[in-house]
C-alpha cells in the first residue's frame, strides 16, 4: 500500500484525534497518544509490511466471544491486513493503548472515523481495553506481559512454515515489571527467534504514576541485552532515529527498540497533571476548558466545541 | 493385573511422528513426563521452554495461531496454578488447539502440596472452551493422545505415567463413559486411578451381596449429565463418587449438579479429598489416609445401604502397592 500521508502528519493527526476524543468524552488515554503517536504511525505507515485491510471500514458490532457455537468469530487482525506468508503481524501488547491504535487505524485509512464514535459503547467491538475482536487487535493482550510470549510462539511457528512475514510487538515499559516478559525474552533468544521485533514505549509512567516511584526497573536496555535481545535505543519522537533503530540487524536474536518517549509530547499543558497521566479525566469543567484551549493551541488546531451544560 | 510400562512415551511418539503439526513442548520435566526419548529421537519436533510456564503457555498460544498443535508436558499442577492468566488469555479464550498433558494428577505424586494437582478438574472445567479428559488405565493413556488431538480447541488431560495397569481393552472415546457393571443397589462413579480402587471393592461387594452399578468417566467436560441421571435413577440406595481430587468441583460436584438439575432425589456420598490439602507420601498411603481407597468405598456403600458387609482389608483382592522409590517409576518426582 502506498502511503498518502507522511508519518509525521499521521502522528500529529493521532494526537489531535485522541485529544478531541478525550476532551469530548471528558477522559481518555491521552498521554499514551503523546508518547506513542510516532511509534504507531511509523509501524503502520512504513515500518511494517501490512497488506490492505480485509475488514469493513466501519467496525461490525460485537458478534460474540470465541466458542464452538460461534463459528463466524473473527479477530480484529484483518484491520492489519491478510494473514498470509509474506505480511507482518502486529500485536498491541498494552491493550489500553487501544484508543491511540484506533486513531492510528483511522489516519492510515484502515477504519472510518465513525469507528471511534463506537469507542467504549455497549455492543460494539471498539472496546476501551482492546479485545481480540477490536479493530487492529490480533490477540487478547489485556493483561500486561503476555504479548511478547505469544508473538515469540507465532514467530517461531512462522519461521518453521517458511513465512517471510515477521512478527512485531508494540510494548510498554511497565511490562518489564512482569516476570513473564523476561521469560519471553530469554526463550526467544534461546530459540534464536529473529523474525520477531518490538518497539517499547519507554515513557516511564504507569497506572499509579512515575515508574521510579511505583517500582524501580533499573536499566532496561542492559537487562534486555543480558537476557539475549538485541537492543536499540532511540528518541521515540525522532522518526529518523526510529527508522534507523528498526533497521538494526539482529541475526539469531529478537530486536527490541526502546523508544524513549515523553508522556506529554506535543501537549505540554498536560504537565500540570504530572504524574497522574495514565488515564486523563478532568477534575473540573474549568480544567477541561483550560486544557482544551491550551492543547489545541499547541497542536495548532481549533479547540473542541463543547456542548453547553 | 497386566501392567504396561510408560504407555504415554510409546503412544505419543508413534502419534506425533505421523503428524508434523504436532509439537512437543517441555518445561524442564522431560524425562519425568516420559518424552526424553522423543526429544532425543525427534529434536526438530521438540521445544524446550525451560522452567518458565507462563511464557510456555502464551508461546503455545502463538504456535496455535500459526497453525501448530502443541502438546505441553509438565506436572498437571504446573500447567494452571502459576500460568492461569496465560491459560485463559492465550489458550482458552482464543480456542487454540493446545493439548495440556498434566502428569501426576492428585495424590499420584509424593511431592506434597506444591506438586499435587488436587483442584485441576475444578479449575479446568469452569474455563469456557476447555475440554477435560482423564486417563484411568494404560489403554486410555495410549488412546488419549490421538483422541485429545481431534478436539478443535484446548484440551487438558490427566495422564498416568510409569507402570500403569491395563483395565480396558477399548480406546478412550471422548464423551463415552464406560459402564463397568450394571447393578441396581448403588451407583458408583469414578475417574482416573479411583476406578482401579472401585474395581477392587466391587469384587468384594459382589460377594457380600451388594449389586453395584459402576461408571468410569474419562470425559469430564463435556459432562454427560443425562446418562448419569439415567443410571442414578436405576439404583435403589444412592450414588457414590470417588475421585483423585477435591470433592468440590470434581465429579462429585458434577454428579450433584446433574441430579439437582434433573430433580432426581438420590443420596450422594462424595469421596475424595474433603476440603483439605494432601501431603507428601506414597499413593496407597495417601489414598488410605484421605479416604480415597477401595476400603473407603466399601464403608461408603455400607453407609448408603445401612448394611455392614463384613469386608475388611484382607477381603480386598489384589491390592497393588508400589514403593515410592520403586524401579517402575521414572524417577523420584
Q: For chain A, give every domain's residue range.
A: 7-57+77-299
Please report the pLDDT score of residue A2 as a whole number.
Answer: 52
Q: Which residue numbers in chain B have pLDDT < 50?
A: 319-332
Give the nearest partner residue to B63 out of A68, A141, A156, using CB atoms.
Answer: A156
Please report the pLDDT score of residue B318 as a whole number.
Answer: 54
Residues of B in contact with A146 (CB under 8 A): 54, 58, 85-86, 89-90
State the smallest CA–CA distance between residue B94 and chain A in angstroms.
Answer: 6
Residues of B in contact with A140 (CB under 8 A): 89-90, 93-94
Which of B181, B211, B215, B201 has the alpha carbon at shortest distance from B294? Answer: B201
The answer to whether residue B227 neighbours chain A at the CB level (below 8 Å) is: no
The CATH topology of domain B8-103+136-165 is Rossmann fold (3.40.50)
Distance separating alpha carbons of residues B61 and B23, to the nearest angstrom: 12
For residue B7, the surrounding DSSP H or E stretch is helix B7-16
Residue showing cell 483395565: B167
- Per-residue pLDDT tens digits for B270-307: 999 999 999 999 999 999 999 999 999 999 999 999 99
- Per-residue pLDDT tens digits for B190-212: 999 999 999 999 989 999 999 99
Q: Is CATH 3.30.360.10 the classification given to domain A7-57+77-299?
A: no
Give the nearest partner residue to B62 out of A75, A154, A183, using CB atoms.
Answer: A154
The answer to whether residue A245 neighbours chain B at the CB level (below 8 Å) is: no
- Per-residue pLDDT tens digits for A59-76: 999 999 999 999 999 999
Give the nearest partner residue to A153 out of B50, B58, B93, using CB atoms.
Answer: B58
Give the nearest partner residue to B66 out of A65, A145, A154, using CB atoms.
Answer: A154
Residue A82 has pLDDT above 90, yes or no: yes
C-alpha cell at A33: 497518544
Please report the pLDDT score of residue B328 as a whole number.
Answer: 44
Give the nearest partner residue to B90 out of A146, A157, A183, using CB atoms.
Answer: A146
- Per-residue pLDDT tens digits for B129-140: 999 999 999 999
C-alpha cell at B81: 496454578
Residue showing cell 466399601: B298
Cross-chain residue pair A186–B52, CB shorter than 8 Å: yes
Please report the pLDDT score of residue B160 as a whole number.
Answer: 98
Residue A201 has pLDDT above 60, yes or no: yes
Cross-chain residue pair A154–B54, CB shorter than 8 Å: no
Sheet of B238-246: strand order equals B178-182, B212-217, B186-191, B238-246, B268-273
Give the nearest partner residue to B55 out of A66, A154, A184, using CB atoms.
Answer: A184
**pTM for the full model?**
0.95
The CATH topology of domain B178-306 is Rossmann fold (3.40.50)
The answer to whether residue B43 neighbours chain A at the CB level (below 8 Å) is: no
The answer to whether residue B89 neighbours chain A at the CB level (below 8 Å) is: yes
- For residue B213, the tally of other CB atoms under 10 A from its CB is 21
CB-based burial of residue B116 (10 Å sphere; 0-12 exposed, 13-18 middle, 19+ buried)?
buried
Please report the pLDDT score of residue A194 as a whole number.
Answer: 98
Residue A249 has pLDDT above 80, yes or no: yes
State the smallest CA–CA distance between residue B51 and chain A in angstroms.
Answer: 9
Cross-chain residue pair A67–B95, CB shorter than 8 Å: yes
Contact yes or no for B88/A150 (Cβ under 8 A): no
CA B257 to centroid of chain Cα atoms: 20
State the smallest CA–CA distance between residue B330 and chain A in angstroms.
Answer: 27
CB-based burial of residue A288 (10 Å sphere; 0-12 exposed, 13-18 middle, 19+ buried)?
buried
Give the nearest partner residue to A151 out of B62, B68, B93, using CB atoms.
Answer: B62
State the smallest CA–CA distance between residue A227 and chain B in angstroms.
Answer: 14
The answer to whether residue B62 neighbours chain A at the CB level (below 8 Å) is: yes
Count of A-B CB contacts under 8 Å:
107
Please report the pLDDT score of residue B315 as a whole number.
Answer: 86
Cross-chain residue pair A66–B60, CB shorter than 8 Å: no
Residues of B in contact with A65 (CB under 8 A): 93, 128
Phi first, then psi, for residue A209 (nearest 5°) are 140, -150
Residue A189 has pLDDT above 80, yes or no: yes
Residues of A in contact with B152 (CB under 8 A): 68
State the smallest CA–CA distance between residue A67 and chain B in angstroms.
Answer: 6
Cross-chain residue pair B95–A184, CB shorter than 8 Å: no
Which residue in chain A is spatially nearest to B127 when comparing CA positions? A67
- Per-residue pLDDT tens digits for A227-247: 999 999 999 999 999 999 999
Instruction: Write down the mean pLDDT value for chain A.
Output: 95
ipTM: 0.95
Distance separating alpha carbons of residues A243 and A34, to the nearest angstrom: 19
Please report the pLDDT score of residue A3 as a whole number.
Answer: 64
Q: Please identify among residues 16-75 of chain A the ones whose CB lies closer than 8 Å to any CB of chain B.
A: 65-68, 75
Q: Please identify among residues 132-151 of chain A the ones whose CB lies closer than 8 Å to any CB of chain B.
A: 132, 139-143, 145-146, 149-151
Residue A297 has pLDDT above 50, yes or no: yes
Please report the pLDDT score of residue A306 as a whole number.
Answer: 84
Task: Provide mean pLDDT across the span A142-168.
Answer: 96
- Per-residue pLDDT tens digits for A103-120: 999 999 999 999 999 999
Distance separating alpha carbons of residues B260 and B255, to the nearest angstrom: 9
Q: Which of A154-168, A201-215, B262-276 has the lowest mean pLDDT?
A: A201-215
Cross-chain residue pair B65–A141, CB shorter than 8 Å: no
Amino acid at each position: 500500500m502506498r502511503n498518502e500521508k507522511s508519518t509525521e502528519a499521521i502522528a500529529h493527526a493521532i494526537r489531535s484525534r485522541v485529544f478531541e476524543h478525550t476532551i469530548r468524552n471528558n477522559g481518555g488515554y491521552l498521554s499514551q497518544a503523546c508518547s506513542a503517536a510516532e511509534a504507531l504511525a511509523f509501524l503502520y505507515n512504513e515500518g511494517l509490511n501490512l497488506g490492505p485491510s480485509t475488514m469493513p471500514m466501519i467496525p461490525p458490532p460485537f458478534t460474540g466471544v470465541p466458542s464452538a457455537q460461534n463459528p463466524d468469530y473473527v479477530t480484529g487482525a484483518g484491520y492489519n491486513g491478510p494473514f498470509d506468508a509474506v505480511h507482518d503481524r502486529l500485536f498491541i501488547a498494552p491493550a489500553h493503548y487501544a484508543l491511540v491504535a484506533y486513531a492510528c487505524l483511522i489516519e492510515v485509512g484502515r477504519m472510518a472515523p465513525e469507528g471511534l464514535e463506537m469507542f467504549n459503547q455497549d455492543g460494539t467491538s471498539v472496546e476501551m481495553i482492546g479485545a481480540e475482536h477490536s479493530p487492529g487487535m490480533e490477540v487478547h493482550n489485556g493483561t500486561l506481559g503476555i504479548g511478547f510470549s505469544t508473538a515469540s510462539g507465532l514467530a517461531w511457528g512462522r519461521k518453521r512454515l517458511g513465512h517471510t512475514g515477521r512478527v512485531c510487538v508494540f510494548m510498554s515499559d511497565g511490562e518489564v515489571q512482569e516476570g513473564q516478559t523476561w521469560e519471553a525474552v530469554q526463550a526467544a533468544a534461546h530459540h534464536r527467534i529473529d523474525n520477531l521485533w518490538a518497539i517499547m514505549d519507554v515513557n516511564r509512567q504507569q497506572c499509579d504514576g512515575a515508574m521510579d516511584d511505583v517500582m524501580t526497573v533499573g536499566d532496561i536496555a542492559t537487562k534486555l541485552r543480558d537476557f539475549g535481545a538485541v537492543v536499540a535505543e532511540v528518541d521515540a519522537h525522532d522518526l529518523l532515529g526510529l527508522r534507523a533503530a528498526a533497521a538494526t540487524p539482529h541475526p539469531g536474536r529478537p530486536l527490541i527498540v526502546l523508544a524513549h518517549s515523553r508522556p506529554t509530547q506535543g501537549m505540554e499543558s498536560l504537565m500540570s497533571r504530572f504524574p497522574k497521566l495514565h488515564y486523563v479525566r478532568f477534575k473540573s469543567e474549568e480544567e477541561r476548558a483550560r486544557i482544551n484551549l491550551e492543547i489545541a493551541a499547541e497542536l495548532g488546531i481549533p479547540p473542541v466545541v463543547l456542548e453547553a451544560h | 493385573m497386566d501392567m504396561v510400562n510408560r504407555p504415554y512415551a510409546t503412544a505419543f511418539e508413534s502419534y506425533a511422528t505421523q503428524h508434523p503439526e504436532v509439537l512437543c513442548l517441555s518445561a524442564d520435566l522431560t524425562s519425568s513426563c516420559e518424552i526424553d526419548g522423543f526429544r532425543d529421537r525427534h529434536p526438530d519436533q521438540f521445544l524446550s521452554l525451560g522452567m518458565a510456564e507462563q511464557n510456555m503457555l502464551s508461546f503455545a498460544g502463538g504456535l496455535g495461531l500459526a497453525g501448530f498443535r502443541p502438546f505441553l508436558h509438565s506436572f498437571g499442577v504446573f500447567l494452571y496454578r502459576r500460568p492461569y492468566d496465560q491459560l485463559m488469555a492465550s489458550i482458552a479464550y482464543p480456542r487454540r488447539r493446545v493439548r495440556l498433558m498434566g502428569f501426576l494428577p492428585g495424590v499420584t505424586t509424593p511431592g506434597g502440596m506444591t506438586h499435587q494437582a488436587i483442584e485441576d478438574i475444578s479449575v479446568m472445567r469452569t474455563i469456557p472452551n476447555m475440554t477435560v479428559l482423564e486417563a484411568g488405565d494404560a489403554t486410555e493413556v495410549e488412546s488419549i493422545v490421538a483422541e485429545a488431538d481431534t478436539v478443535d480447541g484446548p484440551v487438558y488431560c490427566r495422564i498416568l505415567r510409569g507402570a500403569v495397569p491395563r483395565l480396558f481393552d477399548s480406546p478412550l472415546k471422548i464423551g463415552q463413559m464406560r459402564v463397568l457393571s450394571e447393578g441396581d443397589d448403588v451407583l458408583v462413579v469414578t475417574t482416573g486411578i479411583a476406578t482401579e480402587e472401585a474395581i477392587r471393592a466391587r469384587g468384594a461387594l459382589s460377594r457380600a451381596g451388594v449389586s453395584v452399578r459402576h461408571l468410569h468417566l474419562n470425559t469430564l467436560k463435556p459432562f454427560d449429565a443425562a446418562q448419569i441421571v439415567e443410571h442414578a435413577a436405576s439404583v435403589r440406595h444412592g450414588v457414590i463418587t470417588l475421585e483423585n481430587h477435591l470433592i468440590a468441583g470434581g465429579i462429585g460436584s458434577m454428579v450433584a449438579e446433574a441430579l439437582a438439575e434433573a430433580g432426581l432425589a438420590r443420596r450422594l456420598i462424595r469421596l475424595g479429598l474433603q476440603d483439605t490439602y494432601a501431603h507428601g507420601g506414597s499413593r496407597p498411603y495417601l489414598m488410605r489416609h484421605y479416604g480415597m481407597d477401595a476400603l473407603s468405598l466399601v464403608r461408603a456403600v455400607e453407609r448408603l445401604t445401612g448394611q455392614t458387609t463384613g469386608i475388611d482389608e484382607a477381603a480386598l483382592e489384589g491390592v497393588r502397592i508400589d514403593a515410592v522409590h520403586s524401579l517402575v517409576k521414572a524417577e523420584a518426582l
